[in-house]
Structure 1
Amino acid sequence: MPHDDDQPRAGLSRRGLLGLAAGGGAALALAGGGVGFALGASRTEPDAQGAHAFFGAHQAGITTEVQEHLHFAAFDMMPRSDRRDLIELLEDWSYAASRLTQGLEVSASGAVGGGPDAPPDDTGEALGLHAANLTITFGFGPSLFLNEDGDRYGIADRRPAKLERLPAFLGDDLDPAQSDGDLCIQVCADDPQVAVHTIRNLSRIAFGRAKLRWSQLGFGKTSRTSAQQQTPRNLFGFKDGTANILADDQDALASHVWAGDGDPGWMAGGSYLVARKIAMLIETWDRVRLGEQERIFGRDKVEGAPLSGGTEMTPPKLSGLDPHSHVRLAHPDANGGARILRRGFNYVGGNNALGRLDAGLFFLSYQRDPAQFITLQKRMSTDLLIEYIRHVGSGVWAVPPGATSGSYVGAALFA
C-alpha cells in the first residue's frame, strides 16, 4: 500500500502506538494526539482503485456490493478498561480504518517509514496491494452496555431496547468461544490478504484495551446486493437468498434495514447485525439424491428457479413447494413480510478429528430490528435443511451510523 504524506499527521493515540509496539511494532516517536483527520469527501461508490470511503451517513459494508472475502472478528474490552479507553480505541480504529480503506498503511510511518531501529507501525503484508474494495464495519454488542461487572462505560441507559442476546433456537449447538463479543469488526475485501492485514493491524492497535475473542475467515460470497451480481452458490451447491434486499432499493432499506422507530437517536442511520456460524454436514448432504436435495431447498439446482416454476427470479408459488422446504419457510410471504439484508460467506477450516470437512456458511444479516431475524429463525425450526446443518456460533451487535469526517464511529453514543 502506498504512503501518502499529504494526509493529516494527527493520528493514533499514544495507547494506539503502544498497542502496535506490543503487538509487533510501533515507531513510538510518531505524533499522537487524537483523531483530527479528514480524508476527503465521502463516497458511496469505489474509486478507480477500488477504495470505498470510510466516512458517510451509513457505515460501508452493509449495502456495499458484496466482496469475495471476509475476515470477521469479535473483541472483548479488557476487565479494568474505562470509558476513556473505549472512546480512545474507537477513535484509533476509526483513524486506521479511514486510511486502510483508501489503500494506505495503518499510520503515516507505515511499514518502513519509522526508521530501521524501531519496529514498524504497519505489518507490511499489504504493501503494493490496492484497497481491493475494502470495507470495515464496527458493531457494539449487548455486553458492552451492561454485563456482570455492571455499567462499565456509563452507557447502560443508552442501550437500544432491541439489543438483546438472541434466544435459543432449535438446532443450536453454540460454542461460547465462537459467539458474542463486546465489539465486532466485519472486514470485507476482494483480496484475502487485504482483509487479513486489516484485522491483524486493528487487533494490534487494541492491545491493552480490548482483546480478540474469536474470528472467522470467509470466502466465496453467498449473497448478492446488486442486480449486476449473479446469485452465488453455497457449499451445498445451491443458489440461496435470490430475493435479497438490493442496495438501490431505498424503500426496502428504509423499511427493513436502517434503524428507526424505538431506537435511540445515536442509532439513526445504523442497523443491527446478526452473525451465525452454520456448520454444514457436507458428507451427509453429498449422499442425498439430487431430487431430494431440490425438494429440501425448493429450487432447481442448476438454474436456481423455484420448483413451482419459472426462472431464478420468478417469485415462488408457495403452494407449489414442500411446506417444509427452505424457500417456502424463508419467504417473506410466510413471515408477515419480514425481510433481511444478507451478506453471507462460505468457510472451510480443514478437516475435523473424524476426517470430515469442517465447512459451512458464515451467515451475516442486517435488519432494523433483530426481531426480524428471530421471526425467520423460529420459522425455520421445521426446515428440511435442519438435518444437515448445525448452528455453532452466534452474536448480535448494534451497528452505529457512519462516522463524520474528523470524528469517529459511535461518537454520538458518548455525546
Structure 2
Amino acid sequence: MQINRRKLFGLGAAGVAAAGTGALATRAMLDAAPPAAAASTSDPVSFYGEHQAGIVTPAQDRLHFVSFDVVTKKRDELVEMLQEWTAAAARMAQGKDAGTFGAVGGAPEAPPDDTGEALGLPPSGLTLTIGFGPSLFDDRFGLAAKKPAALADLPRFPGEALLPEISGGDLCVQACAHDPQVAVHAIRNLARIGFGKVSVRWSQLGFGRTSSTSRAQTTARNLMGFKDGTNNLKLEDAAMLKQQLWVAPGDGPAWMTGGSYMVTRKIRMNIETWDRAPLGEQQQIFGRDKGEGAPLGRAREFDPIDFNAKGQDGELAIAKDAHIRLAHPTSHGGAHLLRRGYNYVDGSDGLGRLDAGLFFIAYQRDPRKQFVPIQMELARKDLLNEYIKHVSSGLFACPPGLRDAGDYWGRTLFA
C-alpha cells in the first residue's frame, strides 16, 4: 500500500538549514533519524552523520547522477543555494516533499514547492551525495587557497576518448534509490531550486548496481555478464575504510577531513563485439569464471586468488594482462577503491549498436595514490581494452557528513 509522504511524516518546513526557524523544524527529523542503513528498500536512510550517505551505504538499485556548472558570480548566492539544497535534500531523504508547501499545498497562483512526481512514494532508501569539482576552485568565489592537492586534474590515460560536454563540472550530486522515480525526483528538484545559480552540465541514469558495498549484498553483474567488484571495499571493513576511503586529519585541507574523493568514468562497452567472443576468451580477459565468478584455477567466487597457479597447459591460469591481476591491490602497493557503479543503456548510436556500458563511480582517500596508478596500469595493459572505451570523466571532492540540521553542504569549505 502506498502512503502519502506528507501525511506519513507530518513535519513542518525545513527551511534554509542554517537559518534559525528552519533549523528547528528540521531538527525534529534528526531526532527521529533512522539507522544509517535502511531496514528495507522502501525505508529512509539517515541524512546526518560523520560521513555523507551514499558512499558506504549499501548500494541501491538505481542512480541519477548530475554535474552542474555554477552560473552565478556571487559567493553569497552560491552559499544560499547550498543551504536550500541541504534543507530540501534532508526532507526528500525522509520521503517528504522538497519544499514547505509541497506539490499541492501552496497558493494556486504560485509555482509549487515540489514537482510532485514522487507523491505517494516511500523514501526508497534515497541518498544524496554532493561533490565539488576542481573548476570550482578558480578565482570566482575565493576558494583557490582551499583547493585540495588531491583534487589535481586526472592525467590523460592511453586509449580514452573523453567528450568534454559530458565530463567535469563545478558541482555534482549523486542520487541513489531503489525506485528510479525517487532518484529522478530528487535531482529534478535540486535543479529547480538552483535555477539561475547553476545549470546542468551533464547527467547520467543508471540501473542495476555493479558493485556490492556491504557483505549483506550479493555480487552484481555488469553488462558483459561477469560479476563485478568481488573484492570491493565493504561497509563492514572499518579499518580498511579508515585507511583507504576517508580523508584523515593532516591529509589536508582541514575542510575535507572525514570526506572522500569521487572519480566517475563513463565506460562504453562494445557490446556486439563482446557478444561474439568465445566464452574461454571472455574468461581469460577477466581472469574469472563467468558463472560462479571464481578466479581461474579456483572453485568459488571468494576463494583467494593465486596469481601463480598454472593450468593444465603449464601456462598461468590468470594471464599477466588479465583484468583482475592488473586491478588487484597487490599490483598497486595495496591501493583499494570503494566502487559503486551502475549499468547504463542510452539507446542506440544510430548504427544499430547499443550505447551501453558501465557508469563507474569510485571513492578513495587520494586519487593520486589510488585511482590514477590503477587506471594507468589498466589503460596500458588490460586485455579488456579491446571491448571498452572511456568517454566521460569526473573528479569531485566530497566533504564530510552533516552534523545536524544547522549544518549545510559545503559549510566546512565556505566557512
Alignment TM-score, normalising by the size of structure 2:
0.91
Give the equivalent residue in structure 1 for 2:55. 62
Give the equivalent residue in structure 2 for 1:330. 327
Give the equivalent residue in structure 2 for 1:3. 6
| Contact 2:75–2:141 under 8 Å retained in 1 | yes
Give the equivalent residue in structure 2 for 1:378. 376
- Partner residue of 2:78 out of 80, 86, 92: 86
- Partner residue of 2:198 out of 206, 210, 217: 210
User: Cα distance, 1:397 vs. partner?
Assistant: 0.3
| Contact 1:298–1:306 under 8 Å retained in 2 | yes
User: Cα distance, 1:107 vs. partner?
Assistant: 1.0
- Superposed CA RMSD in Å reads 1.7
Q: Distance in 1 between matches of 2:20 and 2:239?
A: 43
Q: Distance in 2 between matches of 1:2 and 1:229?
A: 28
| Contact 2:37–2:58 under 8 Å retained in 1 | no
Give the equivalent residue in structure 2 for 1:40. 30
Give the equivalent residue in structure 2 for 1:263. 252
**Of 232-241 and 2-11, the range deviating more from structure 2:** 2-11
Instruction: Give the residue type in structure 2 aligned to 1:286.
Output: D
Query: Which runs of no fewer than 5 residues in structure 1 stay unpaired?
Result: 14-30
Instruction: Give the residue type in structure 2 aligned to 1:352.
Output: D
User: Cα distance, 1:289 vs. partner?
Assistant: 0.3
What is the CA deviation profile of residues 232-261 of structure 1, one whole-angstrom value per residue up to 9, with x for unaligned ones? 100000012100000011001001000124
Give the equivalent residue in structure 2 for 1:173. 161
The equivalences for 1:275-294 within 5 A come to 275-294=264-283
Give the equivalent residue in structure 2 for 1:23. none
Instruction: Give the residue type in structure 2 aligned to 1:158.
Output: K
**Of 46-55 and 227-236, the range deviating more from structure 2:** 46-55
Give the equivalent residue in structure 2 for 1:100. 92
Q: Distance in 2 between matches of 1:220 and 1:45?
A: 19
- Partner residue of 1:366 out of 363, 366, 374: 363
Instruction: Give the residue type in structure 2 aligned to 1:101.
Output: A
User: Cα distance, 1:33 vs. partner?
Assistant: 8.1
| Contact 1:308–1:318 under 8 Å retained in 2 | no
The equivalences for 1:13-412 within 5 A come to 37-38=26-27, 39-41=29-31, 42=33, 43-46=35-38, 49-78=42-71, 80-146=72-138, 151-260=139-248, 261-320=250-309, 321-371=318-368, 372-380=370-378, 381-405=380-404, 406-412=406-412
**Of 392-401 and 314-323, the range deviating more from structure 2:** 314-323
User: Cα distance, 1:319 vs. partner?
Assistant: 2.4
Instruction: Give the residue type in structure 2 aligned to 1:97.
Output: A
Q: Distance in 1 between matches of 2:152 and 2:192?
A: 29
User: Cα distance, 1:164 vs. partner?
Assistant: 1.3
- Percent identity, please: 53
Instruction: Give the residue type in structure 2 aligned to 1:232.
Output: A
Q: Distance in 2 between matches of 1:10 and 1:387?
A: 51
What is the CA deviation profile of residues 250-276 of structure 1, one whole-angstrom value per residue up to 9, with x for unaligned ones? 001001000124221111110000000
Q: Distance in 1 between matches of 2:386 and 2:306?
A: 24
Instruction: Give the residue type in structure 2 aligned to 1:388.
Output: Y
Q: Distance in 1 between matches of 2:43 and 2:144?
A: 39
Q: Distance in 2 between matches of 1:360 and 1:32?
A: 46
Q: Distance in 2 between matches of 1:329 and 1:69?
A: 29
What is the CA deviation profile of residues 175-211 of structure 1, one whole-angstrom value per residue up to 9, with x for unaligned ones? 0011000000000000000011111111000101110
| Contact 2:13–2:22 under 8 Å retained in 1 | no
Give the equivalent residue in structure 2 for 1:27. none
Q: Distance in 1 between matches of 2:377 and 2:96?
A: 45
Q: Distance in 1 between matches of 2:345 and 2:14?
A: 40
Number of residue equivalences: 393
Q: Distance in 1 between matches of 2:13 and 2:221?
A: 44
User: Cα distance, 1:73 vs. partner?
Assistant: 0.1
Q: Distance in 2 between matches of 1:34 and 1:206?
A: 18
Give the equivalent residue in structure 1 for 2:414. 414
Alignment TM-score, normalising by the size of structure 1:
0.91
User: Cα distance, 1:414 vs. partner?
Assistant: 1.6
| Contact 1:294–1:301 under 8 Å retained in 2 | yes
| Contact 1:279–1:390 under 8 Å retained in 2 | yes
User: Cα distance, 1:35 vs. partner?
Assistant: 5.4
Cα gap change, 1:145/1:408 in structure 2, threshold over 3 Å: closer, same or farther? same
